[in-house]
Amino acid sequence: MSTLSLANRRERSTRAAWRERVLATTLALTLSCAALSKDDPAAVSFTPRERALILTLSPPQPAAKDTTNHADGNPEAVKLGKTLFFDPRLSGDGRFSCASCHDPTRNWADGKEVATAAGQGTRNTPSLWNVASNRWFFWDGRADSLWSQALKPIERDMELDGSRLQVAHLIAADSSLRVSYEKLFGKLPDLSDSRRFPAAGGPRASDETRLLQWWQMDGDDRQSVTRVFANVGKAIAAFEATLVTATAPFDRFAADLRGGKAQSAAIGPSAQRGLQIFIGRGNCVLCHSGPLFTNMEFHDTRVPRRPGTEPDAGRLTAMTSLAEDEFVSPGPYSDDPTGRRARQLFYLDAQAGSPGHFKTPGLRNVALTPPYMHAGQLATLRDVAQHYNKLEDAAPPADPLHVEALIKPLGLSESEVDDLVAFLESLTSEPPNATK
């Protein structure tokens, strides 16, 4: 073997060893980078457009004062409303109050698929967090103010099954309630004549006796009782308007970005990746927009129907309810019949009320209020994410003429679904608000 060939062999050997070292080093670096990118928030980078979009989602703003309710924001009304909210004497048989379904220990919901009180409901009890910020109320939006919403369960047969006459008598008979009421709303009508003012009755009573008692009353007497009933709703609404979520980890993350930080560890890397999906290819933010994560409007998201149930008309029937409702914002019991909320109803397009459309729920504290969707069809946030991800059991569009074109399988991986859930969990208040 020549010296030259030996030298060549040594050189080749040295090169091979060097290549191996470089490969090993590169592999080690790649692995360590991969490990870093899994756990290091710095690995999630947001484009300027994404950062701008994130800032639109925080912080939440206080709800605008409801000018249709002159008691809104009044501490005395809040106190009276809270008492009434928890008072089972509002119900027909004295067993149920607003809190029976909107349980403060369950984040003002009930944890059930559908509500159960005097009867079996057909829809999931929505949480009351941030409820005053809504544009429309109930899953189908059949009330246009919070005080109007608060009245309807009291007289509905499957909820409290009470009546407005009974409620007016309760206020008149309980000296504490009466004093608070008259301080806020003026003197109660004299209800002492039981022939003029029977013990129970209302236009939506579930039995003929109470219906008959109501419609046999003088028109002016009916109106004065209805005025008391409306004021009860306004007091309850004043209390419900205080149920506001606190700062969440996501808000601290957004505040860091707003403050000019390039990165933030306020939420973990998985939640940050989930946020990127939420505002990006998940299309979630198109409906869950703004600091409360809702556009407050109505969509058919093709959620599977609960087994054994009939189709729910949703927003469609709400249009009729709104047209017939005496407690709407432009109505005789409103404190601002020409204001913003009244105009909102004036401009509502009845043709937009499609069957099977339900309100986009807000997402703050959403991780605390399972099950999900308008009839509690999906048990966990992961189930919700997988519904939109795969549409495997999706119902057909409820209205073939009004199909939400955005509802398509997202094609997320299992870990991306986990990331989306992690982001939704970062919207939970720290610590969860206590009952005020």
Smallest distance from the beta carbon of 409 to another protein, in angstroms?
A: 17
Smallest distance from the beta carbon of 351 to another protein, in angstroms?
A: 8
Pick 104 or 290: Cβ nearer another protein: 290
Q: Which helix (H) or strand (E) holds 298?
A: strand 298-299
Cis peptide before 400 (omega within 30 of 0): no
Q: How many CB atoms within 10 Å of residue 56?
A: 12
**Helix segments in 142-218, DSSP class H:** 146-155, 164-173, 175-185, 208-215
Smallest distance from the beta carbon of 144 to another protein, in angstroms?
A: 13
Give the 3-state secondary structure of residue 250: helix
Pick 98 or 318: Cβ nearer another protein: 318
Pick 215 or 346: Cβ nearer another protein: 346
Residues 15 and 17: their CA atoms lie apart, in Å, by 5
Give the 3-state secondary structure of residue 285: helix
The answer to whether the CB of 210 falls within 8 A of the CB of 197 is: no
Extract the tokens encoding 371: 């099950």
For residue 88, give the DSSP letter: G
| Of 348, 393, 81, the residue nearest 240 (C-alpha) | 81
**Helix segments in 367-430, DSSP class H:** 381-390, 414-425
Smallest distance from the beta carbon of 134 to another protein, in angstroms?
A: 12
Q: What's at 54, amino acid-wise?
A: I
Smallest distance from the beta carbon of 190 to another protein, in angstroms?
A: 43
Q: Which residues bind another protein (CB under 8 A)?
A: 49, 52-53, 55-59, 61, 285-287, 289-291, 295-298, 343-344, 346-349, 351-352, 402-406
Pick 67 or 226: Cβ nearer another protein: 67
Pick 150 or 266: Cβ nearer another protein: 266
End-to-end CA distance of the chain: 93
Pick 158 or 313: Cβ nearer another protein: 313
Smallest distance from the beta carbon of 191 to another protein, in angstroms?
A: 41
Smallest distance from the beta carbon of 25 to another protein, in angstroms?
A: 44
Pick 42 or 55: Cβ nearer another protein: 55
The answer to whether the CB of 237 falls within 8 A of the CB of 341 is: no
DSSP letters spanning 59-70 = SPPPPPP-TT-T
Cis peptide before 432 (omega within 30 of 0): no
Pick 219 or 400: Cβ nearer another protein: 400
Burial class (CB in 10 A: 0-12, 13-18, 19+), 126: buried
Smallest distance from the beta carbon of 135 to another protein, in angstroms?
A: 9
